[in-house]
Structure 1
Amino acid sequence: MNDLHDQYLEEGEMIYVGQPDSAKVLPGVSRVMIHYWISDPKATKLMVYWNSGQDSLFVDIPDSPGTATKELLISDLDERIYYFQLVTMNNELKNRSIPLEVSGHVYGPKFQKTLIERGLRYATYQTEDTVFTQWGSIPEYYLKSEINYKDNSGNSITKFIAGEESSVVLENFNGELKFRTLYLPEEEAYDTLFSDFVPISEIDLEIDKSLFSRWNPTGIPYDEYAAAYGIEKMWDGSVDTWYIQGGSTFPHSFTFDLGEEVKLSRIKQWQRLTPGVVYRSQGVKKFEVWGSATSDVSDDFSGWTVLGVFESVKPSRQSLGKESAEDIEFAAAGEDFMILNSTVPVRYIRYVVKDTWNGALPVTIGELSFFRYED
């Protein structure tokens, strides 16, 4: 009755070395870092297999307390998911442990091609050597952006902007601005991925509002709501005063003179920030901006060049009559609209308002600033 067992009893007792207590794979670029923990003092050697056992790596297990993290770096791997089997053994390379299997991702060029940079919306001079930068939306796997520039002493300055930040000020600025995006494909990834550096040569600056003046061609008369809300309120430097244009139907145009011929890069526009009005009524929601270098224009758009078609946004996207704290903060900072046709020199501006937040007139603008690229 013991025939079935005798052949195993004759071989003697089989003693296994303890397998790693646990392990995890930290993904990298063309490599992985394996962290493992083992408490069995008999385990002094480690064999790692992958590719269904076709590839392997044999190492000594570091002589450190069992609770300490042990590390193993495996390089020169192709881009894909790997399954690793960890097998321990003693000094005589006997009494192998039961394999422990863990998996992890190896990243490479294919994955990097799918990454989207966090774009720089614009850079603008605040003073002669201070530049304000405004950044776009956060892409997937975003870690931070690295910004590099030269200061007035010729030193290379590096700054970083994290995901929760939307702007950063570059002080003592003297040129050679560039940036790149850093990515972390997984929370515990071993490697950080980098995009190539992007050079930025176009830095804009605000044009002089003291040169602005009222001007209207034939066919586009002013329809100011009242003398106290004249068009000059749009460029008086205060968001607490407003230009209110009456009108009767959409689309609704009004015009003015910038006082000099410029190539525009950007418009910053403020709503009327009065509670109960902001994002609810009067504020321009959909509009076009047209320009001309000459005053020889009229209401039929001949002689005008479209500079951009825009729509104001409410960050929370809530329905009419509902605003978040973020919405109010966004409106108070002014909303930026990038000029699409920035190569055309213009002096005379035509606003064509297509809609307000509540779809009704009048049209109100709290303040306007115009920007051009540095010469």
Structure 2
Amino acid sequence: MHVMKKNKQNNRTISAYLMPLLMLVTLFVGACEESESPVEIISTDMTKPGVVTDVHVENLNGAAKITYKLPNSKNLLYVLARYSINDDHVRESKTSYYQDTILVEGFAREGEYEVSLYAVSRANVLSDPVVVKVQPKTPNYILINEGLEISPDFGGANFAGVNPTGAPISIHLLSYNDATGQFDERDPEYISGSAVDVSIRGFDPVERKFGVYTSDRFGNTSDIRYVSLVPLFETELDKSKFFVYPLPSDAPIGYGWELRYLFDGSLSGNGWHTTTSSLMAGTFGLGLTAKISRFVLWNRLPAMYGDQNPKEITIWGSNEDNPQDHPLPRASEPGTVAGDWVNMGNFSYPNPPSGLPPIQANAADIAFAAAGVNFVMPSTAPSVKYIRFVCTQTWAGLNYVNAMEITFYGSPEE
């Protein structure tokens, strides 16, 4: 009993000491929270803000950057820009009072446009407008469309060019339908990088009309460009002409699964299998010169999404008569030249179409891989006589590789 009484007394002493301190901390925290509220969204102050002044314009492609001096209004919340980007679409842009710059964008064409600038209060009261004239340069979507190089492609046409600003853009491809007498439009290709390289395929090598136009995220569309051309002929390259062309840096063969089995036309029996090597490469000749359109790869079943099966691939090619061995970079962009060899393209074996993790691939995923996976060669890849198949990463991250079969398609050159 004596011990319990002592503890109670100590607790009362501690509480008496701490309570004033806790109250002081609470008041201090409360004061801090109140003082750190930077913007009152709702205000009863209906005073009209002053206008922005000292306005300057920097014209951009399809846009303009406007800088200004903010008014000395205590209840200012943001600056609003209101402007028409085409005949029937009015846009608004906003920027907070922390900034002195606003971007107006989405203009349909090069030319002069009026932009109304408003200072807006916390009570949503607009200042008098300040009308500014901007003269945006040619919009990006028009630059892209006008700059596209249209050329024959395997079974169709290729559209290649640059995206100057890298802004998102849609490429719309059209093909003339002889039966209906109209142009059919494919699903648009969405581009967000700096390069444009898209193709429309599936046609015989006879003259046909194609078209292309571009659109941006603001709903603007370019004029349609039309062209008539003959699609390139595509055929399976004759694998009976292929031959192994061993180079010193090629990966050593393992278990008798020689490189020649990779193109023997058989999916049963042996494929290509290497042992440990710093460069998982195999080199072979095509027996002719060809512009390659695509290739089909069969990974080894049933672990086509695992083990030593290829996951990341680089195809190197050479058009020399007797290309020499040369160190190859582990990572490089298409078009990179290393000695007699050029990077024709980098390819990623796709994940299971079902969306399941690779180790849980279902029957449909296995059937997809068993049919062979198609890889489209970039249209910029040169014609070649020799191929170096380089696996830069296996599914299990191993430093040896195997695959069952590969088939190349393209246009042989006489």
What TM-score do the two structures reach when normalised by structure 2?
0.47
Q: 2:388 aligns with which of 338, 350, 361?
A: 350
- Counterparts of 1:276 and 1:212 in 2: how far apart (Å)? 30
Relative to structure 1, the CA distance from residue 212 to residue 274 in structure 2 (aligned partners, 3 Å threshold; closer, same or farther) is same
Report the equivalent of 2:341. 306
Aligned: 1:209 with 2:241: no
Relative to structure 1, the CA distance from residue 148 to residue 108 in structure 2 (aligned partners, 3 Å threshold; closer, same or farther) is farther
Q: 1:168: Cα distance to partner?
A: 5.9
Maintained 8 Å contact 1:147/1:159: yes
- Counterparts of 1:119 and 1:238 in 2: how far apart (Å)? 40
Maintained 8 Å contact 1:223/1:247: yes
Matched to 1:272, the amino acid is N
Q: 2:309 aligns with which of 261, 282, 285?
A: 282
Q: 1:272: Cα distance to partner?
A: 0.9
User: Could you report, residue by residue, the CA deviation over 1:279-334 in whole angstroms, capped at 9, with x for unpaired residues?
Assistant: 6632152435132543x455457x96213164333667999957899998986532
Q: Residue 138 of structure 2: SS of its match in structure 1?
A: helix
Maintained 8 Å contact 1:280/1:321: no
Aligned: 1:162 with 2:191: no
- Counterparts of 2:249 and 2:110 in 1: how far apart (Å)? 68
Maintained 8 Å contact 2:174/2:185: yes
Relative to structure 1, the CA distance from residue 321 to residue 278 in structure 2 (aligned partners, 3 Å threshold; closer, same or farther) is closer
Maintained 8 Å contact 2:245/2:284: yes
Q: 1:363: Cα distance to partner?
A: 1.5
- Counterparts of 1:160 and 1:139 in 2: how far apart (Å)? 23
Report the equivalent of 2:274. 246
- Counterparts of 2:247 and 2:203 in 1: how far apart (Å)? 47
Q: Residue 334 of structure 1: SS of its match in structure 2?
A: strand
Aligned: 1:270 with 2:297: yes
Aligned: 1:124 with 2:154: yes
Structure 1's unaligned 5+ residue stretches are: 1-24, 35-75, 84-105, 126-130
Q: 2:172 aligns with which of 145, 157, 161?
A: 145
Q: 1:174: Cα distance to partner?
A: 1.6
Aligned residues: 272
Whose helix fraction is larger, Structure 1's or Structure 2's? 2
How big is the alpha-carbon RMSD for the aligned residues of Structure 1 and Structure 2?
A: 5.5
What TM-score do the two structures reach when normalised by structure 1?
0.51
Maintained 8 Å contact 2:310/2:391: no
State the identity as a percent: 14
Report the equivalent of 2:88. 32
Q: 1:359: Cα distance to partner?
A: 3.0
Report the equivalent of 2:287. 259
Report the equivalent of 1:174. 206
Report the equivalent of 2:377. 337
Maintained 8 Å contact 1:269/1:365: no
Report the equivalent of 1:225. 254
Q: 1:160: Cα distance to partner?
A: 0.7
Maintained 8 Å contact 1:220/1:299: yes
- Counterparts of 1:134 and 1:362 in 2: how far apart (Å)? 38
Relative to structure 1, the CA distance from residue 80 to residue 365 in structure 2 (aligned partners, 3 Å threshold; closer, same or farther) is farther
Relative to structure 1, the CA distance from residue 247 to residue 316 in structure 2 (aligned partners, 3 Å threshold; closer, same or farther) is closer
Aligned: 1:368 with 2:403: no
User: Could you report, residue by residue, the CA deviation over 1:229-264 in whole angstroms, capped at 9, with x for unpaired residues?
Assistant: 44344334566777322132111332223122x143
